Amino acid sequence: MASTLTGDNYPLNECEYDDKEDIENNERSIQCQEVKTKVKEEDLKLEKVEVLDEPKDNSANSFTEDSDLISQLMTQNEDKPFQCSLCGKSFLRNGDLMSHIRIHTGERPFQCSYCEKAFAQNSSLIKHLNTHTGNKPYKCSHCEKAFSQSSSLIRHLKTHTGEKPYQCSLCGNAFTQNSSLMTHLRSHTGEKPYQCDQCDKVFSENSHLKKHLKTHTDERPHLCSLCGKSFARKNHLKIHLRTHTGEKPYQCSQCDKAFSQNSSLMSHMKTHTGEKPYQCIYCNKEFSLNSGLTYHLRTHTGEKPYHCNQCDKSFTVNSHLNKHLRTHSHREETITMLPDFYSLENINELTGEKP
């Protein structure tokens, strides 16, 4: 639809025009040929000017507001007059600059009315509100799943395409998201940036820390009907039940070994391939398991994170603390054990420690 601009908005002596025909009320249609050229007819005095839908050069757009025209002209001239004084980045609009500056200041003026989260931009708040209202406008075209944010849909679509553009340069594993690759790289470096504020344990992923924090609370709603042992998470109970049933559903395709957990099978498979992707940064010794590297690193650092609460002894691995505690209590203590294929002899060989 053509838009009508008044002479007050744009001085008519700055547009070259083509005389079309007189319209009632002395209005005349003109067509802009080039910005900032002089009008040929000096005596043109009109109240309204109609910008035609299809300019002769077919390259200009129609504009409904003054700001739209200004923005388009700036874009064509690659002119971004609003520059950030902190990093030098330039912007087309002053409002965009104001939003950008919040990256530097940390200001988050848009507060969620449902929770404590705040955002630098109103558009981010609107997207976030979908998580509270249950609104999921972004629907997958391959399945019935829907999402509250477009970014979640984009990540999900990769599960259909199989696309994994982010590849580890150390072991060749590929991932759908860059964040997953960054997390995976910690399995090579041994980096564990997430520390428990209740004990000395550290973790490579924030999700692992959150799960661990539940071990410090007394909440264990999942009860084993066979022995009465309780668990904070349902999947822990499911795995525990296999110690009663003897079920080992994860079978190795290279030998006759079977395992109660899939993660144990995945680690075991490396003993067949000879793959040792985990290397010590101190002596270059390689390990097939990340846990093996973790235990070995303590022979260099002297770290003994597992402390006896009844004496001053400390140990490099949980299993050694577990065995030591029995000398105090003469009863079994519930301590997190190693994977079922990793024996105590293996640990002693790595650490040189005797319980």
- Summarised one tens digit per residue, pLDDT across range 140-152 is 998 888 888 888 8
Q: Which of 313, 276, 324 is nearest to 296 (CA)?
A: 276
Spatial distance between the Cα atoms of 149 and 184, rounded to a whole number of angstroms: 25
Q: What single-letter DSSP state applies at residue 7?
A: T
User: What is the structure's pLDDT at 156?
Assistant: 86
Tell me the average pLDDT across 283-296: 88
Q: Which residue has the higher pLDDT, 240 or 79?
A: 240
Q: Which of 72-81, 110-119, 136-145 has the lowest mean pLDDT?
A: 72-81
Is 255 within a domain?
A: no
Spatial distance between the Cα atoms of 79 and 92, rounded to a whole number of angstroms: 7
Residue 136, both tokens: 């999921």
Looking at the DSSP bridge assignments, the partners of residue 223 are 230
- On whether both 126 and 182 belong to a single domain, the answer is no
Domain with 299, as residue range(s), is: 281-351
- On whether both 121 and 171 belong to a single domain, the answer is no
Residue 103, both tokens: 């990256």
Is the pLDDT at 68 greater than 70, yes or no?
Answer: no
Most confident of 61-65, 72-76, 89-93, 287-291: 89-93
| C-alpha triplet 225, 229, 231: angle, nearest 5° | 105
Domain boundary among the residues 131, 161, 191 is at 161
Is 211 within a domain?
A: yes
SS3 288: coil
- On whether both 308 and 335 belong to a single domain, the answer is yes
Q: Determine if the pTM surpasses 0.75.
A: no
What are 63-66's contacts with CB under 8 Å, separation 24+?
A: 63/3, 64/3, 66/9, 66/10
Q: Are the C-beta atoms of 149 and 162 separated by less than 8 Å?
A: no
- On whether both 126 and 175 belong to a single domain, the answer is no
User: What is the structure's pLDDT at 19?
Assistant: 41
Tell me the average pLDDT across 60-88: 63
Q: For residue 306, what is the domain's CATH number?
A: 3.30.160.60
User: What is the structure's pLDDT at 20?
Assistant: 37
Q: Which residue has the higher pLDDT, 38 or 229?
A: 229
- On whether both 150 and 194 belong to a single domain, the answer is no
Q: Are the C-beta atoms of 316 and 300 separated by less than 8 Å?
A: no
- 131 to each of 38, 79, 125, 146, 347, how far by Cα in Å? 55, 38, 10, 12, 46
How sure is the predictor about 47, in pLDDT bands with cuts at 50, 70 and 90? very low
User: What is the structure's pLDDT at 241?
Assistant: 92
Q: Among positive and negative, which fits the CA dihedral 327, 328, 331, 337?
A: negative
- On whether both 118 and 146 belong to a single domain, the answer is yes
User: What is the structure's pLDDT at 34?
Assistant: 40
Is 257 within a domain?
A: no
Q: Which of 24-28, 81-85, 118-122 has the lowest mean pLDDT?
A: 24-28
Mean pLDDT of all residues in the chain?
75
Is 267 within a domain?
A: no
- On whether both 7 and 46 belong to a single domain, the answer is yes
- On whether both 18 and 65 belong to a single domain, the answer is yes
Spatial distance between the Cα atoms of 325 and 319, rounded to a whole number of angstroms: 10
Is the pLDDT at 283 greater than 90, yes or no?
Answer: yes
Is 340 within a domain?
A: yes
Is 250 within a domain?
A: no
Is 55 within a domain?
A: yes
Residue 320, both tokens: 């050694």
Q: Which residue has the higher pLDDT, 30 or 130?
A: 130
Overall number of domains in the chain: 4
Q: Are the C-beta atoms of 350 and 299 separated by less than 8 Å?
A: yes
Is the pLDDT at 322 greater than 60, yes or no?
Answer: yes
Q: What percent of the chain has pLDDT over 90?
A: 10
Domain boundary among the residues 161, 178, 196 is at 161
Element (H, E) at 315: strand 314-315
Is 182 within a domain?
A: yes
pLDDT digits (tens, 9 = 90+) for 202-239: 998 888 888 788 778 777 888 899 898 888 878 889 98
User: What is the structure's pLDDT at 269?
Assistant: 87
Measured in Å, how far apart are the chain's first and last C-alpha atoms? 84
Q: Which of 146, 148, 104 is nearest to 124 (CA)?
A: 148
Spatial distance between the Cα atoms of 347 and 319, rounded to a whole number of angstroms: 9
